[in-house]
Amino acid sequence: MTGSEGAAWVFGDNIDTDQLAPGGTLKGGVEEGASQCLRAVNPDFAGQVRKGDFVVGGRNFGIGSSREQAAQALCHLGVAAVIAPSFGGIFYRNALNFGLLALVCAEAGKISQGDRLTADPETGEVRNLSRGEVYDCEPLPAHLLEIVSAGGLVPYLERKLR
Amino acid sequence: MGLTLAEKLIARAAGRDEVRPGETVTVRVDLAMMHDSSGPRRIAPILERLGAKVWDPERIVLVSDHWVPAVDAQSAEILAITRRWARENNIEAFYDMVGICHVVLPQGGHLRPGMFAVGGDSHSTTGGAFGCYMFGVGSTDMAGVLVTGETWLKVPESIALDWSGKLQRGVCAKDINLALCAHLGLGGAEYAAVEFTGSLIAELGMEERMTLSNMAAELGAQAGLIAPDETTTEWLEAAGGNPGEAAPWRSDKDAEYSATHEFDAGSLEPQVAAPHSPANAAPASSYKGVAIDQAYIGACTGAKLADLHMAAQVLDGRQVARGTRLLVAPASRRDMMQADTDGTLAKLMGAGAIMMPIGCGACAGFGGGVLAEDEVCISSTSRNFQGRMGAQSSKVYLASPYAVAAAAVAGEIRDPREFLAKG
């Protein structure tokens, strides 16, 4: 299964949860938070990212707080997957719990802003259509793939508890 | 081959004789801790959607510390939801505005060596100081725990951070944390469970150990563990808890660590981390003369009783510099009351410190004491990410309570040893 095509939004190392979900927005709802997502590093991102686009990060993407609004904001903006060489441990869980595919990809640094990508959640294969390259990511363990495929932990539990 | 402390704790919770790094296991959760920001306001709608009740109200500890005291209708509503949920779900261990979750949890006697616990906050690694396996999770993850009493975990590698020797006067656990952030890099532990070992750690009191485990989060560690000993047991007994047994919870002699880093405490200088990363730490002397607008002593990392004592040692008989403000937000009511009884508060206030409400305060920019554009702050908190404590252009330097107090008195960053009598 190959996912659909989208553009890459590329960020550097150590994108933290205060950048993804600024503290000042946490009292409010997800719309407000998402509109401010990553404004400190790319003020155009929240307004211009399109459904199905990809966020490509450097090391420690999502490091910091346990606030899951960091992952929820990306979901709300329609991001198809986050691809990075390493993730903050809590962000990684939060992303999958929201049904947001998070792929550990050692070669994420080869992706440039605007490259057209596809990602296969089952094999973990990322295709860079703009460069004709294929990157291997660490495949998700089966139970996490199940959670992502269900659309997140809540729909997964909904099914399981029924 | 033996097991590390982390592996023993996880194996126990997984109902297994042993676990090995890399495997994913399902574990029973002994205790779930959450606060007003990550807790009821986010998990209640999920439980409702699932039509599920909490698995065991006696295993839940709820703490209102982030949005306290309410400053507007929105924060008041968050706190009201938290109180209502505690009542409706019979949560007896509900701490409302009496301290920060990571400090209140052990002070309330809720932790015991050998436990497996999760917390709805990234600094939940603090529980590791008591020989508990404890880590932070998001609200949806927490909702899963509350419904099933279980969670999953990829067993981490273990890294030993071994400290020998004695700390110089004016140097403390916070300096160790900052030095480690600079040495390993932000997130440098890469999901490993770090274990603080060595002769220095054995001599540290519980609050200093808590500070070490707390900032395992900044190292990107899955947990920040310290093997429990008599110090742990006595502290937990005094807190009114049941300390259980400390002896089983230590790494085997032939346990396998993915790395062991050895440090000499005696050569460690007071540290300061420049904006906007804890990994920008260097000896305080290298930032000497940086003018500051605000000095902040607060948070689970830096406003426990031991932290207030450190600040008071520097501030006793001195005055906060003109043009500089010193804000102090104690970590818990118990810490504040003890600081009152032993004369510490009088020393702080006598020097001109402004006492702030107990709670997380300005650390994450939620409470009082946030910064204006371009303002410079030195803080005993754990994170100085851009914009976290207020305006985007504000700058936060991280340091120990000694160094924060020294900067408050000087109006600029200084090596705190200049303000401490030789002894």
Which pLDDT score, from 0 to 100, does residue B287 have? 98
pLDDT in tens, B59-77: 999 999 999 999 999 999 9
pLDDT at position B282: 98
Task: Classify B243 as helix, strand or coil.
Answer: coil
Q: From chain B, pick out residues whose CB is under 8 angstroms from the CB of A33.
A: none
Alpha-carbon distance B146 to nearest alpha carbon in chain A (angstroms): 12
Sign of the alpha-carbon dihedral angle for B200, B397, B363, B146: negative
All residues of chain B having their beta carbon less than 8 Å from the beta carbon of residue A26 are 37, 366
Task: Please name the member of A67, A68, A154 whose beta carbon is closest to the beta carbon of B49.
Answer: A154
From B87's Cα to the closest Cα of chain A, the distance in A is 22
**Chain B residues inside the 8 Å CB shell of A143:** 24, 152
Rama region for B307: left / alpha / beta (φ>0; ψ in -120 to 50; rest): alpha
Residue B408 in tokens: 């408050």
Residues B337-366 pLDDT 10s: 999 999 999 999 999 999 999 999 999 999
Q: How many Å apart are CA B46 and CA B144, to the nearest integer?
A: 9
pLDDT of residue A2: 60
Give the pLDDT band of residue B422 (cuts 50, 70, 90): low
Q: Which residues, 6+ apart, have CB-to-CB distance to A146 below 8 Å?
A: A156
Q: Collect all residues of chain B within an 8 Å Cβ-Cβ radius of residue A155.
A: none
Q: Give the residue from chain B lying closest to A140, CA to CA.
A: B24
Q: Which CATH number fits domain A6-161: 3.40.50.920, 3.20.19.10, 3.30.360.10, 3.90.1200.10?
A: 3.20.19.10
Whole-angstrom distance, CA of residue A4 vs CA of residue B206: 53
ipTM: 0.96
Q: If we measure between CA atoms, which residue out of A32, A84, A93 comes closest to residue A61? A: A84
- The DSSP code sequence of B241-259 is ------TT-S--TTB--SE
Structure tokens at B417: 């040893």
Domain ranges of chain A: 6-161
Mutate to test the interface with A, among B118, B122, B124, B384 (most CBs of A within 10 A): B122
pLDDT, tens only, B363-410: 999 999 999 999 999 999 999 999 999 999 999 999 999 999 999 999
H helix intervals, A105-149: 142-149
Range B95-124 average pLDDT: 98
Cross-chain Cβ contact A27/B140 below 8 Å:
no
Smallest Cβ distance to A89: which of B50, B75, B220? Answer: B220
A158 and B50: CB-CB below 8 Å? yes
Q: Which residues of chain B are within 8 Å of residue A37 when distances are taken between CB atoms?
A: none
Q: How does A9-33 read in b/e, with b if 16+ C-beta sit within 10 Å? A: bbbebbbbbbbbbbbbbbbeebeeb
Residue A3 pLDDT: 76
Domain with CATH 3.30.499.10 in chain B: 5-246+255-263, 273-419
Q: Which two tokens stand for residue B336?
A: 């504040």
Residue A157 at interface with chain B, using a CB cutoff of 8 Å: yes
Res B423 pLDDT > 60: no
pLDDT at site B1: 85
B16-63 confidence digits (pLDDT tens): 999 999 999 999 999 999 999 999 999 999 999 999 999 999 999 999
- Domain range B273-419, CATH class: alpha beta
* Averages of pLDDT over each 10 residues, chain A, 162 residues: 86 96 92 95 97 97 96 97 97 97 97 98 95 95 94 96 83
What is the CATH architecture assignment of B5-246+255-263?
Answer: 2-Layer Sandwich (3.30)
> Does the distance separating the beta carbons of B140 and A66 come in below 8 Å?
no
**Nearest by CB: A68 against B138, B191, B277:** B138
pLDDT in tens, B274-286: 999 999 999 999 9
pLDDT bracket for residue B178 (50, 70, 90):
very high
Per the CB < 8 Å rule, is B365 touching A94? no
